[in-house]
Every structure is written in structure tokens, then in C-alpha cells.
Copies of this chain bind each other. A is one copy, B any other.
Amino acid sequence: MGSTQARIAIDAMGGDYAPAEIVAGALRAQAELGVEVLLVGEPQQIQAQMEHHSPSLQLEIVPAEGLIEMHEEPLSALRRKPKASINVAMDLVKQGRADAVVSAGHSGAAMAAALLRLGRLRGIDRPAIGTVLPTIMANKSVLILDVGANVDCRPKFLEQFAVMGSVYSKFVLGISDPQVGLLNIGEESSKGNELALRTYELLDQNPRLSFIGNAEGRDVLTGRFDVVVCDGFVGNVLLKFAEAIGEVLLQILREELPQGWRGRLGSLLLKPNLRRIKQRIDHAEHGGGLLLGVDGVCIISHGSSQAPSIFNAIRLAKEAVDNQVLDRIRSQYQQTEATATDGE
């Protein structure tokens, strides 16, 4: 294993299907993605899961004791359990023994652990969680942030989200000039709540952003925007709604398509096409959210993640590491300090 391979620490104990599905996804990722995965958690439980897989597949286990439960208040739980798996995973990045953390456990705890153990990047007031959604244009996605880290935001936080999102879009998603939108309730600059009105000005004046204006709810998935910024309350509501509506649509298809004999025959013929539709709608494909703005690469996956989602989350982490997302964000703010004295 060369030193250029990304090393990903994964919280083996976090998530509804931990550790079985976490271990399964991690094994596949190491075999297929050219990454080195460190499994952080209770050694015996992890070992027991590994025995269900080929002995030729072996991952390094980093021992940890306990985990942060879903009902626990993050900050006090993290302090009470310094050896919990998420704490140990973050420490691996802090110590330079890993390049990234992936967790499907308590997302608030993962964020808090990242902030406490890794700290923020210089120039960033609040880290944000970014998520990539597919758009109506084939092969074009949109990065939405924040989708849940900050429920009450100030305009400059959203401006920072836009800068971080643009960097990610450019260097990881390969968009040469990411088009940035502000989630809002109208196209005109005069529309919106106080936060949106003041954020519009900041985005419009920032020379390092390609800000193209407000994105209404209906515009988010058109493919016109590469990055859409919003506060974490609206973003979280929107993301969870988007994920659920995929299910609603599949449900309507399941109910309506097989009606009548033509329906039953037609549905039979369309089986492979329906499978492709499910794939395009299904959120398991996306892997998880990226916590941008902390001094380390952190992927926050769904609590309901199974092996395929974990595999995709590890790939997301690898891409962020390989494309030096942190250094790119850092350099944006070093430039600022060198060239300007910012207000706000």
C-alpha cells in the first residue's frame, strides 16, 4: 500500500446496520477503490463480522470503546466517552494516521466531534454539510449546502458556504466555472427574508463566485445551478423532502402501473426500465453529505446506510482527499487575507 493511497477511517459502530453493513461496505471499498480503510470500533464485534467475508479481505481495526447513541446530547456524550468510535476516528485524522472520516452514526455527534477534535478551517465561521442531488439534466448534479449543520445562519456564513461549495464543485465534481444560486422565494434581488436579502448582496459582490442569482424551489433540480446555498433549516427540510418524494413517486408507479391487463403486461415488459428509474431516483446512490469547513475530510452518511451507501461514502471521501479539497478551500482564504481586508 503506497503512501499516496487515501486512508479512510470509518466509524464501524455508527448507524442502524452497524457494524455488519459498515464492515461489508468497507471491505468492498478497499478491494475496489484503491483506498486503505481503518475500521474504528469494538474489535471483537468487527472481527466477528469480518469472518463472514473472504479471509483474503482484511482491514485494520483501530480499537474504540462504545459509541454515541442516537438519543444522546452530542457535546456531553462526546466528553463523557472520549474513547467512543467517532472520537477515536477523528483523532486518527488529527494525528495524520488517516485522511478522512466516514460515519453513519449520530450526525450531530459527528459534526461536534469534528469541530472539537479537528477544528475549523481558517476563514470559516461555521462548517456546513453539502449534499449532491441529481438534476433533470442527465449527468449533471447540484451541490446543496447547508443541509443541516447550522439552523440559524448569518449572511456571511452563507457566503462562506458558497465559496466552499464552489471549490468542491470545481475540484471534485469537475465543473470548470460553478454557477452559484441562493435558495429563495423569487427571482428578483428584492425577494426573500432578511437573511436572503443580505446574503444576495454579499454573493453578488464576491469576485471569487460566479453568482447567477436566486434559485427558487422549482429551479433547484433544473441543472442551471451547480451550487445552491441556504441555511441548514431550509436545506434539511428540502433534502429530506426530496429523498422521501422519490419513495412517493415509486409508490405511485407501483400502484398505478399494474392496473388492468394492459398495465400488468406493460409493467412486465418495462421491468428493466423501471429498475433504471428507481436507480435515478434512489438516494442510496449518493453516499452522504460532506462536512465542509472543518480541518479534515468528513463524510456524514445516513443512519440507514447499508453496504452500498457506505461504499459510495468512502468513494466520496477518497475523491475529496485525492482532489485536495481542504487545501483548495484554505488557499481561497489565504488569498483573501493577502488581498483584502474584509468587512462583515
Using a CB–CB cutoff of 8 Å, the interface residues on chain A facing chain B are 136, 138, 148, 151-152, 183-185, 192-194, 196, 216-222, 230-234, 236-245, 247-249, 251-253, 255-257, 259-260, 262-263, 265-270, 272-273, 276-277, 280-281
A191 to B231, CA, bound (A): 15
Q: Are A245 and B263 in contact (CB under 8 A)?
A: no
- For A280, the chain B residues whose CB sits under 8 A away are 252, 256
Copies in the assembly, this chain: 2
- For A218, the chain B residues whose CB sits under 8 A away are 240-241, 243-244
Q: Are B256 and A265 in contact (CB under 8 A)?
A: no
From A194, A251, A257, name the one whose CB has the most chain B CB atoms within 10 angstroms.
A257
A266 to B262, CA, bound (A): 8
Q: Are B252 and A277 in contact (CB under 8 A)?
A: yes
Q: A256-B277, A257-B270 are in contact. Are A193 and B152 (CB under 8 A)?
A: yes
Q: Are B192 and A151 in contact (CB under 8 A)?
A: yes
Given A257-B270, A265-B269, output 9 extra A-B contacts at Cβ < 8 Å. Answer: A136-B248, A151-B192, A151-B196, A216-B240, A217-B242, A221-B244, A234-B237, A266-B273, A270-B270
- For A185, the chain B residues whose CB sits under 8 A away are 148, 151, 232-233, 236-237, 240
Q: A148-B185, A267-B270 are in contact. Are A256 and B276 (CB under 8 A)?
A: yes
- For A233, the chain B residues whose CB sits under 8 A away are 185, 192-193, 196, 234
A109 to B193, CA, bound (A): 18
Distance between A243 CB and nearest chain B CB, rounded to angstroms? 6
Q: Are A259 and B273 in contact (CB under 8 A)?
A: yes
